[in-house]
Structure 1
Amino acid sequence: MSSPDTTPPGGPVEPPFEPRPTPAASAKPALESSLERVAMEMLRQQRNERRWRVFFRLAWLGLVAAVLWLSFFQQGSAPTHSTPHTALVEVRGEIAVDTEASAELLVGALKSAFEDPGSQAIVLRINSPGGSPVQSGIVNDEIRRLKALHGKKVYAVVEEVCASGAYYIAAAADEIYVDKASIVGSIGVLMDGFGFTGTMEKLGVERRLLTAGSNKAMLDPFSPANPQQTAMAQAMLDQIHQQFITVVKQGRGERLKEAPDTFSGLFWNGEEAVKLGLADGLGNLDFVAREIVKAEEVIDYTPQDNVAERLAKRFGASIGAGAVKALRELPVLK
């Protein structure tokens, strides 16, 4: 017996059509989710960046405020020392304008030290190879003036080096004390430079120089040496040297034992300097304060950079001045 035929008239019935989702339609929610996550991440980063910007701005404002406050505090807090003490002024490094050992800074420190009623004497602690004869001369003159005005003695204490312009300053002291290995002397003047005419000729470089005044280009390193101008420069150096010699003789007096090489520019160790009368004995700062001045407390009057000045130097504010100084050609006591 056969099964009944259930096929409807007109053929089999197709199931209703159900469209399948396309790949683009299925990816749309995932794309939107990814974009949302990216947007949220960017928003979070922007918020973090804003927070850091605010933090750094506040930090810089705080730093500037601290520097200004410390600078004001340092400038306005110079105490007057009434108790008996030994006043210290340090002469460090090159003696020149815009250095730690410039006449402007040293003279200011010396005035403060002399004017303080508690200072029993002034000690110059020297560690310098020399420098400008003008700056050295200004300090020497001021020491002698202040000694006469206040009636206080000045002692020079040499550490490593007291040469040339530094000795020019030390000569104004009542007594000079050194270490046995200190370098002392170099009583002379120099003016150094270079001549590039041979190099220019080899390179085929021509010097084109216009001047008004026959000696305006005197000692020009790119022009041949002029014997007359060289003689003029030598005469000037000899005059400055003689000024140096006069200052040393006035300062040392009969203690100076002149030898043929005393004013030749040579230098000696501390022991030899004592024998030659260029120094009075061996001793350091503590010895002089304790045994000579009889005031063991030492108070430093040396000018100190404030915080703002130290930061400015650290960030290169003095580079320009150093470059200009390197290009100068002036007589130097070295």
Structure 2
Amino acid sequence: MLGLLPKKVFKVYISGTITDQTYTKFLKDLNKTQFIPSTPLAVVINSPGGSAVHSDLIYKRIRAYASINKVQVFTFAEDFAASGGYYIMCSGDYLYASSTLSLIGSIGAVSAIPNIKDFATKYGIERRYFSTNPLDFFATTDPLQDYNAEKSKKISSVLKEVNEEFKKIILANRKDKLTVGEDKRNDVIFNGDVFLANKALEYGLIDSIGRCDDVIKEKFPDAKIVDLSREKLFTRLTNAFKLY
């Protein structure tokens, strides 16, 4: 920023399970910045995770914003920045937990698939699935089909690939700050565990603990914090009377 302190700092919220709608809302909020360049960005995250794809898209869009505008990004974990939430958090140049009670991490990939074959059999429900590949992903995750070692191996293989991409993002952004040795990372921080803020700070998963507005005011005392996620009063009123 050429040594000049900004007049504004943009703030955007990402909350709840991360889906395509989360990404759409985020883009809508971020598009409000297009005519005001060179403004730092604060991203407040309160999410247990969700879609790996949309977590990655949000992450890349934040990094693109920082690169194009040549500004710093500050990310903050509120209650949760877990799994995809932490993935997005790593888009920041500086990572903060809003409270010592914030939960951070869950670095891994998970897939929960119910098995309702017995229920379907009891009520005469028959699933007919046709595919050129009996081990395609959709067939493998069909809740009406039996599981076997081969299917479990297929699912585990996909999850492992997703997890490796997650680890690459973290190492690209936090490698020099992680305090856990390479030989122990898989057992300590890349094992799906979540950590309270002080432990996350100890491991180098975050840089400090502090609320968004407090941190921004300390770094940029004269800057106005502009909440991009806050809808205007007129918009809120019209949305309240929408017909469905």
TM category (shorter chain) comes to: 0.7 to 0.9
For residue 209 of structure 1, report the CA deviation from its aligned partner: 1.2
Give the secondary structure class of the aligned counterpart of 2:151: helix
The reply to whether residue 211 of structure 1 matches residue 138 of structure 2 is no
Q: CA–CA distance in 1 between the matches of 2:189 and 2:144?
A: 36
Q: CA–CA distance in 1 between the matches of 2:59 and 2:80?
A: 18
- Counterparts of 1:309-324 in structure 2, within 5 Å, are 309-312=239-242, 317=244
Which TM-score applies when normalising by structure 2?
0.84
- Please give the per-residue CA displacement for 1:181-228, whole angstroms capped at 9, x wherever unaligned: 111111111111211223445x36352414132245332111211432
Counterpart residue number, 1:147: 66
CA spacing shift, 1:115–1:265, aligned 2, 3 Å = farther
- Counterparts of 1:5-16 in structure 2, within 5 Å, are none
Counterpart residue number, 2:88: 169
- Please give the per-residue CA displacement for 1:70-122, whole angstroms capped at 9, x wherever unaligned: xxxxxxxxxxxxx8122101111111022xxx222213423433651473x11
- Counterparts of 1:55-134 in structure 2, within 5 Å, are 84-98=7-21, 102-113=22-33, 115-117=35-37, 119=39, 121-134=40-53
Give the secondary structure class of the aligned counterpart of 2:153: helix
Q: CA–CA distance in 1 between the matches of 2:157 and 2:238?
A: 44
2:144 maps to which of 198, 222, 229: 222
Give the secondary structure class of the aligned counterpart of 1:126: strand
Counterpart amino acid of residue 219 in structure 1: T
Give the secondary structure class of the aligned counterpart of 1:241: helix
2:158 maps to which of 236, 248, 251: 236
Give the secondary structure class of the aligned counterpart of 1:127: strand
The reply to whether residue 187 of structure 1 matches residue 114 of structure 2 is no
CA spacing shift, 1:130–1:151, aligned 2, 3 Å = same
| Aligned 8 A contact 1:129 1:163 in 2 | yes
CA spacing shift, 1:293–1:256, aligned 2, 3 Å = farther
The reply to whether residue 267 of structure 1 matches residue 186 of structure 2 is no
Gaps of 5+ in 1: 1-82, 318-334
Q: Which structure has the greater CA radius of gyration?
A: 1
CA spacing shift, 1:234–1:303, aligned 2, 3 Å = farther
Return structure 1 stretches of 4+ with deviation > 6 angstroms: none
Q: CA–CA distance in 2 between the matches of 1:286 and 1:219?
A: 44
The reply to whether residue 289 of structure 1 matches residue 211 of structure 2 is no
For residue 251 of structure 1, report the CA deviation from its aligned partner: 1.4
Give the secondary structure class of the aligned counterpart of 2:96: strand
For residue 231 of structure 1, report the CA deviation from its aligned partner: 1.5
For residue 294 of structure 1, report the CA deviation from its aligned partner: 3.5
1:198 maps to which of 101, 106, 118: 118
Counterpart amino acid of residue 66 in structure 2: K
Q: CA–CA distance in 2 between the matches of 1:281 and 1:302?
A: 24
- Please give the per-residue CA displacement for 1:154-204, whole angstroms capped at 9, x wherever unaligned: 001222111111111110100011111111111111111211223445x36
- Please give the per-residue CA displacement for 1:28-73, whole angstroms capped at 9, x wherever unaligned: xxxxxxxxxxxxxxxxxxxxxxxxxxxxxxxxxxxxxxxxxxxxxx
| Aligned 8 A contact 2:38 2:71 in 1 | no
More helix by share: 1
Q: CA–CA distance in 2 between the matches of 1:105 and 1:128?
A: 14
Give the secondary structure class of the aligned counterpart of 2:175: helix
Number of positions where the alignment pairs a residue of Structure 1 with one of Structure 2: 227
Which TM-score applies when normalising by structure 1?
0.62
